[in-house]
Amino acid sequence: MTYTIVNHVLDYFELEQGGLWSLIGAIAVWAAPITGFVAIVGLVSIWLERKISAHIQCRLGPMEVGPHGLLQTLADGIKLLGKEDLVPKNADRALFALAPMMVFAATFVSFACIPFSEKAIIADLDIGIFFIAAVGSLEAIGVVMAGWSSNNKWSLFGAVRAATQVVSYEIPLSLALLAGVLCAGSMSLVDISQAQGGWIWSWFIFRNPFMWIMFLIYFIASLAECQRAPFDLPEAESELVSGFHTEYSGMRFAIFFLAEYGKMYVVSAVGVVLFFGGWLSGIPAIDGIGGITGNLIGAGVMITKSFLLVCVQMWIRWTLPRIRLDQVMDLCLKYLLPISLVCLMLIAVWQGLMPTFDEFGIAMIAAMALGFMQMRRIYRKAIEASKTRLSLPTMKV
């Protein structure tokens, strides 16, 4: 049994018997479900984003189309389909058309390696996590292509910002991925998930104290990779109109939008696999079911966990203000990079010296809960203090 990309392609398409025609047929059969899934992820995420932002700002959000505005995104999609496809007069037409495809393809291909459950994975590659990281880095060049070919200074500024940010944050992101690989001893996403079997405290985030820090680094870096607030400088509305996709309209704009939400899901799913046990629910009795039922439960658990992380990304976007470009670079190169390097080294030492036992995981959960409560207390106190200092009236909503 081999796990190379060519072997996977051969297995699915049965090329050796059917020749090239079966390749074309199989591409249609295998690409259709992913396309459908990406579209559904996009629909749900965009609806979630609008609802979460609305509730954070004490509004209702979309309410008219469908129950609680569930079909609003679909209506918007149909509107975008009917819009005129504009290309600026002095744009570089070929590159202008290629850019959205490039960005979407980068996200789309990553889905092939995400395990929804033990069997529900399109390609369980030997180098799964590296494949996702490498293919994801193609997005940057699509963004640069969009920004340059639009022949618009705001687009160009957005593209240059995106390139800086994505290339810099790729380093802490990859180091965080390496931490998970180190704990599991494999780069296949299925193996990494299975290494976290057992009770909830055998998940990698509770494996040792540094994995928790690594998760924070991964999460911050993934926000920057997705160009989400507080790192949304490439499309800063107040400065750059809407950055690299200023000139795009209609369906091409929709493809950029879909790719952004797809990327958010991919990043969250990888985070779940690396730190939160993938499709495993953390209860051995449920994880041991197996068969079609077990796989369906696994897929449900995996999608729920991923969407929870997507929701946290949205929560952060609508809570924190955008930071400046020099602050973005400072955060990456002066803080995240050294911290992640030190953490990676300490995780390696821990893996080598400490045996894995359950009691430590339980202690980690307890320590994290205590730390969280302590932080909450300090935070409450600080808010009280600032209220008395500024003598703000307490607001009741």
Residues that bind other proteins (CB under 8 A): 2-7, 15-16, 19-20, 23, 95, 125-127, 130-131, 133-138, 140-141, 144-145, 147-148, 153, 156, 159-160, 163-164, 166-167, 170, 187
Which residue type, as a one-letter code, is found at position 333? L
Task: Give the C-alpha separation, 87 to 215, whole Å.
Answer: 42
- The least distance separating other proteins from the CB of residue 352, rounded to whole angstroms, comes to 15
Count of CB atoms within 10 A of residue 160's CB?
17
Identify which of residues 74 and 109 has a Cβ nearer to other proteins in the complex.
109
- The least distance separating other proteins from the CB of residue 205, rounded to whole angstroms, comes to 24
Task: Give the C-alpha separation, 194 to 190, whole Å.
Answer: 6
Task: Give the C-alpha separation, 228 to 317, whole Å.
Answer: 7
What SS3 state is found at 205?
Answer: helix
- The least distance separating other proteins from the CB of residue 2, rounded to whole angstroms, comes to 5
Angle at 157 between CA 154 and CA 160, to 5 degrees: 150
Identify which of residues 137 and 242 has a Cβ nearer to other proteins in the complex.
137
- The least distance separating other proteins from the CB of residue 5, rounded to whole angstroms, comes to 5
Identify which of residues 178 and 255 has a Cβ nearer to other proteins in the complex.
178
Question: Would you state the structure tokens that stand for residue 253, as one six-digit string?
Answer: 């704009």
- The least distance separating other proteins from the CB of residue 163, rounded to whole angstroms, comes to 4
Identify which of residues 27 and 370 has a Cβ nearer to other proteins in the complex.
27
Identify which of residues 114 and 200 has a Cβ nearer to other proteins in the complex.
114
Identify which of residues 130 and 350 has a Cβ nearer to other proteins in the complex.
130
- The least distance separating other proteins from the CB of residue 358, rounded to whole angstroms, comes to 29
- Check if the beta carbon of residue 106 is closer than 8 Å to that of residue 124: no
Runs of H (alpha helix) within the chain: 5-13, 15-18, 20-56, 72-82, 93-110, 128-136, 138-149, 153-184, 189-194, 209-225, 237-240, 250-275, 284-287, 291-317, 325-330, 337-353, 358-390
